[in-house]
Amino acid sequence: MAVLLRALLRPGRPPGTLGRHPGQREASLCADPGAPVRVRFAPSPTGFLHLGGLRTALYNYIFAKKHGGTFILRLEDTDQTRRVPGAAENIEDLLAWAGIPPDESPCRGGPAGPYLQSQRLELYAQAADALVRTGAAYPCFCSPQRLHLLKKEALRNRQTPRYDNRCRNLSQRQVAQKLASDPKPAIRFRLDEEAPAFQDLVHGWTRHEVASVEGDPVVLKSDGFPTYHLACVVDDHHMGVSHVLRGSEWLVSTAKHLLLYRALGWRPPRFAHLPLLVNADGSKLSKRQGDLMLERLAAAGFLPDALLDMVTNCGSGFAENQMGRTLAELIAQFDLSRVTCHSALLDLEKLPEFNRLHLRRLVSSETQRSQLVEKLQVLVEEAFGSQLRGTAVLDPAYVERVILLRQVWWGRPLPEAKHAPHTLALF
């Protein structure tokens, strides 16, 4: 922050420390075609992983593996007030359980770490310093009370709340005076320039004139933490991300991100904004929907392959809409150019059928059947431990026999097993 404050009172000069070269004002909108494919899944640990997050992670994973690339897990934990204890570990553990572990992550490490944004604050301060020095950003001394009144007044007049850019034209003398009493201002990015059009790999050519509908956004808060807009640009650049596959709710914000790339003299990655996964009634998925939580579905005995199959089956990206695909088949058949803009409807009532398909595959393989026997032994003990009379029912040969005999009854769950985990209930 001290470096940043000194920059506020200094004449403008190019941010040479960040790799910008003379004449490189216009950053290309295409990623370097010769660069390796590097994608990232960047959730916020403000809740546990649900099916919507799993789907975004999966599309990134299969795109990376199809092109011999790298799948990165980055945790966007800059909002410390909303961080849920254990959520960060939960996300990485469940990605591994689902069979799509990251190549680089907070736990695994990697050449572009650290992978927690709260440990990368110096990089964001350097970027903010560069923006201020070139006049692309400025300090904002507006109090939370003033900003709240602006919002309240806009809503009262039935207008969209926006910052009025009050601090953008302060003189150096005024800035110096205000710094004396408020040495840690927020930093806002100037939305002066026309937003560039860009070719989204899902939505096609797109342009959003954000400056006409929004005030200058905060990119660095007074506590030294970045907002999403600055953090994702800085991290994607320094981590060498080649393609950003994220939800379509970020499509409009991409205009701001491209302006930030341009101001910093960096080449942006390619963008693909994926259609949202929504409930069967069209409503948005929520982290508060317990039945969508991956941890709960895993505990209920649903197979990872069944979940991966279902969340891709209800969307697009494949030549044919079929059930029963394995992860290897998803990788081989995925085609990003086939992803459409339409939201994907999630029907959880179909999940047991997906589970049955993948259970049949497990049973038909002798190697995988033995692994299933081990899992079922654990499930039986967990579900009926206090009711078991002896250990004969847990004998591997007996469990395997039950599995093979049960195949003829698939589709008709046993009444006495209706409260058992779903993997067990199918036997």
What pLDDT, on a 0 to 100 scale, did the predictor assign at position 300?
Answer: 86
The answer, yes or no, to whether residue 416 has pLDDT greater than 50, is: no
What pLDDT, on a 0 to 100 scale, did the predictor assign at position 18?
Answer: 40
The answer, yes or no, to whether residue 19 has pLDDT greater than 50, is: no
Rg (CA), the chain: 26
> Do residues 70 and 37 touch, judged by C-beta distance below 8 A?
yes
The answer, yes or no, to whether residue 235 has pLDDT greater than 60, is: yes
| Nearest partner of 314 among 55, 124, 29, 53, judged by Cα | 55
What pLDDT, on a 0 to 100 scale, did the predictor assign at position 297?
Answer: 92
Helix (H/G/I), strand (E/B), else coil: 186? strand
- On the 0-12 / 13-18 / 19+ scale of CB atoms within 10 A, 24 is middle
**Residue that is written with structure tokens 């204890």 in the block:** 85
> Do residues 139 and 16 touch, judged by C-beta distance below 8 A?
no
Average pLDDT, the chain: 85
The answer, yes or no, to whether residue 226 has pLDDT greater than 90, is: yes
What pLDDT, on a 0 to 100 scale, did the predictor assign at position 28?
Answer: 36
What pLDDT, on a 0 to 100 scale, did the predictor assign at position 21?
Answer: 32
CA distance 51 to 346: 9
Q: What contacts 11, CB < 8 A, 6 or more positions away? A: none
Encoding tokens for residue 313? 């089956």
Helix (H) or strand (E) holding 260: helix 254-264
The answer, yes or no, to whether residue 25 has pLDDT greater than 50, is: no
Q: What contacts 349, CB < 8 A, 6 or more positions away? A: none
Read off the pLDDT of each residue in 329-333 and give the average, rounded to a whole number.
96
* Percentage of the residues of the chain whose pLDDT score is greater than 90: 60
Q: Write the DSSP assignment of 322-361 as a string of letters.
A: -S---HHHHHHH--GGG--SSPEEE-GGGHHHHHHHHHHH
Q: What contacts 177, CB < 8 A, 6 or more positions away? A: none
- On the 0-12 / 13-18 / 19+ scale of CB atoms within 10 A, 190 is middle
Read off the pLDDT of each residue in 288-295 and give the average, rounded to a whole number.
77
For β-strands 344-346 and 277-279, DSSP reports them as parallel
DSSP 375: H
Read off the pLDDT of each residue in 274-302 and give the average, rounded to a whole number.
82
Distance (Å) of CA 324 to CA 89, 294, 405:
30, 19, 22
pLDDT band of 33, cuts 50, 70, 90: low
The answer, yes or no, to whether residue 366 has pLDDT greater than 80, is: no
pLDDT band of 9, cuts 50, 70, 90: low
pLDDT band of 399, cuts 50, 70, 90: confident
More confident residue, 153 or 391: 153
Read off the pLDDT of each residue in 101-125 and give the average, rounded to a whole number.
97
Tell me the per-residue pLDDT of 335-359, one tens digit each, with 9 for 90 and over.
999 999 989 888 888 999 999 999 8
Using the CB atoms, write b or e for 289-318: b if 16+ within 10 Å.
beebbbeebbebbbbbbbbbbbbbbbbbbb
Among all residues, which ones are annotated catalytic?
Answer: 287
Tell me the per-residue pLDDT of 312-324, one tens digit each, with 9 for 90 and over.
998 889 988 889 9
Read off the pLDDT of each residue in 135-140 and give the average, rounded to a whole number.
96
CA dihedral of residues 331, 241, 344, 317 (deg, nearest 10)? -40
pLDDT band of 29, cuts 50, 70, 90: very low
CA dihedral of residues 58, 204, 337, 319 (deg, nearest 10)? 100
What pLDDT, on a 0 to 100 scale, did the predictor assign at position 423?
Answer: 54
Read off the pLDDT of each residue in 110-114 and give the average, rounded to a whole number.
97
What pLDDT, on a 0 to 100 scale, did the predictor assign at position 417?
Answer: 45
More confident residue, 20 or 353: 353
The answer, yes or no, to whether residue 40 has pLDDT greater than 50, is: yes
Among the residue ranges 26-40, 191-205, 293-307, 315-329, the one predicted with the least confidence is 26-40
> Do residues 236 and 38 touch, judged by C-beta distance below 8 A?
no
Q: 186 forms bridges with which residues in the sheet? A: 140
**Residue that is written with structure tokens 């009172």 in the block:** 9
Say whether the peptide bond before residue 114 is cis (omega within 30 degrees of 0). yes
pLDDT band of 2, cuts 50, 70, 90: low
Q: 40 forms bridges with which residues in the sheet? A: 72
DSSP 1: -
For residue 147, which phi and psi values (nearest 5 degrees)?
Answer: -65, -40
More confident residue, 378 or 306: 306
CA distance 115 to 42: 9
Q: What contacts 10, CB < 8 A, 6 or more positions away? A: 133
Q: 293 forms bridges with which residues in the sheet? A: 50
The separation between CA 147 and the C-alpha centre of its own chain, rounded to angstroms, equals 29
CA distance 3 to 32: 32
Encoding tokens for residue 114? 């650290």
What pLDDT, on a 0 to 100 scale, did the predictor assign at position 421?
Answer: 55
First to last CA, the chain: 62
What pLDDT, on a 0 to 100 scale, did the predictor assign at position 193?
Answer: 77
What pLDDT, on a 0 to 100 scale, did the predictor assign at position 30?
Answer: 45
